[in-house]
Amino acid sequence: MKQVKVAVIGASGYTGQELLRILLRHQGVELVCATSRQYAGQMLEDVFPRFRHVPGADLRFTDSDVPAVAATGAEVAFLALPHGVAAAYARGLVDAGIKVIDLSADFRISDPAVYEEFYDKPHPDLELLKEAVYGMPEWHGEEIRRARLIASPGCYPTSILLPLIPLLKAGLLETEGIVVCSSSGVSGAGRKADISLLFCECNESVRAYSVPKHRHLSEIEQELSLAASEKVVISFTPHLVPVNTGICTTTSAKLKPGIDPVLIGKTLENAYKNEPFVRLLGANKCADTKNVTRTNFVDIGWAYDPRTGRAVLMSAEDNVIKGAGGQGVHAFNILCGFDPAEGLWII
């Protein structure tokens, strides 16, 4: 198998750590660079003792300097950086001839006005935004193969879009009145010091947040509108739950008049029959985060409520793997011509 030289920028956060865990075991990857201002000069295996004795884990973290990254010979770079920070690195890396998989939100929103509305500032690189590809492997494989900048989807959007897109494309659902309720583990907030995220603040606690306009609504509604070929606006309420990782999402949407509820399952099965990381549970089966954490799988179940005429879609995923690092590696595999599942059979 050929090997591709890879850099991870911002490798010491939760997503960066999962990226390292996957890439160190990927047969087609030579990890040549991992950046972290906090841990510059230290070896990966010293900062993350789980990597001890893993080949390649003696690599040392470096500062996030674009010329230094380019000097390593990296061919592809993952950006595991906060929104607003990633765009500047993306420009420098792309100009250096390095393909970029950005795990931040900086290039997910195609409309600059929508980006500014949800992220409270103008987009930092309009020219590069024009060529960015929304990197959901199940739906954008051909675009990913040709891209030099891939905007990897967010964690909540992944859990919401995968069940809804095929049903909207098939015209089974009304586009008005879609309601989504999601719950996420604390790692979704990132690896940072924040009183609201301390153990004693989160343990034995469940709370909604970012109501009524979470930032991920922007890309969710963008992709749902593309699937439905009309404007889609949804109600989305995220919750913080006291677990490390995992997202559980329940979506309800009204079936169009005359639609047989059996088509819900048939449409999902047809859409994902060849997708290795979408596991369909069947009718009246509820997805459970305990079955997907530490994996790149998303589990999807569904039901039909005859009293309301609504489809109920239930999904679960690991927010830092399928919802972030693992999904980025899936796109990397497509980009580089590897088997799409290479390095991702983690259970």
Q: Which residues are catalytic?
A: 155
β-pairing, 247-254 with 310-317? antiparallel
d(CA 248, CA 252): 14
d(CA 279, CA 270): 12
Alpha carbon separation from 193 to 47, 199, 318 (Å, rounded): 18, 11, 22
Q: How many residues does the chain have?
A: 347
d(CA 213, CA 237): 8
Alpha carbon separation from 145 to 4, 62, 99, 127 (Å, rounded): 15, 29, 11, 20
Alpha carbon separation from 298 to 125, 280, 290, 307 (Å, rounded): 32, 9, 11, 28
